[in-house]
Structure 1
Amino acid sequence: MNSSSYFDFASLSTLKHADSVKQPGASKEVLQKFEALFIDQMLQAMRKATVRSELFDTQGMKMYESMFDKEVAEELAKSGGLGLTKVFERQLGLESKNQSEKKFTLERSNRSLPFNKSKAVSLYNSQLVTD
């Protein structure tokens, strides 16, 4: 990622432009920003669920914790985080596979699995008896 700050809005517009002109790597950066946003939302929800003392329940402390959570989320997303970026890359077909690997995956997914009808019927009947 180009930016080290969660609050750098200029980097978001740069990412938007880079993705629109299909620069390589721009999609991964967008996915990392999304993962950082998701992690930040998780951290905010965890903070709300925590019992707080009056000593540390000031506006300044809340602002500090919010900024800290955003930076932690950004760093977690950069370092792999929860793995959402990789999952989304795989789902969107953005990961770097060569064509033969993609073709093999598609061919395997179209094959039917072996099916033993008598075993399936006996399992089904045994479920009917136990229910």
Structure 2
Amino acid sequence: MKQLKETAKQFEAVFLRQLIGTMRSASLGDGVFDSSSTEQFRDMADARTAEAMAGKGALGVADLLVKQFGARLATTTPKDAAPTPAAPKDEGPAK
């Protein structure tokens, strides 16, 4: 379950990065000081912001994913899981 929560947070961070990037690309024009360097640093800052927002559960996407997939994991029964191989029996000394 811990791995599911971590993966859900990572997914939310990717989603937020895409959202922020799309919002940023919808700007009305280039600034006076815009260059490839400032764009690179802006992208890094956006990624960091997205990770921080996802860590706090800003949109709640991760919580919804955990709720949806956690319910599926909880309903998985041991008989649905792959069988484990049986240990070999000790049949005594070789003949």
**5+ long unaligned stretches in structure 1:** 1-23, 100-131
More helix by share: 1
**Residue matched to 2:57:** 80
TM-score by length of 1: 0.51
Residues 75 and 54 from structure 1, CA distance in 2 versus in 1: closer, same or farther, beyond 3 angstroms?
closer
Q: Does 1:29 align with 2:6?
A: yes
The aligned residue for residue 47 of structure 2 is 70
Q: Percent identity?
A: 30
Q: Which runs of 4+ in 1 moved over 6 A?
A: none
- Unaligned regions of 5+ residues in structure 2, if any? 76-95
- The 5-angstrom pairing of residues 81-96 of structure 1 reads 81-93=58-70
Kindly state the Cα deviation for residue 52 of structure 1 after the two structures are TM-superposed.
Answer: 2.8
Deviations 1:84-106 (A, max 9, x none): 01111111125xx9x9xxxxxxx
The reply to whether residue 53 of structure 1 matches residue 30 of structure 2 is yes
The alignment's TM-score, normalised by the length of structure 2, stands at 0.69
Q: Give the 3-state SS of the residue equivalent to 1:55 in structure 2.
A: coil
1:40 partnered with 2:17: yes
Cα displacement (A) at 1:54: 4.1
Higher relative contact order (CA 8 A, sep 6+): 2
AA of the residue aligned to 2:45: F
Q: Count residues in correspondence.
A: 73
Q: Report the secondary structure of 1:56's partner residue.
A: coil
Q: Please report how far the alpha carbon of residue 27 of structure 1 lies from its aligned counterpart in structure 2 after TM superposition.
A: 1.1
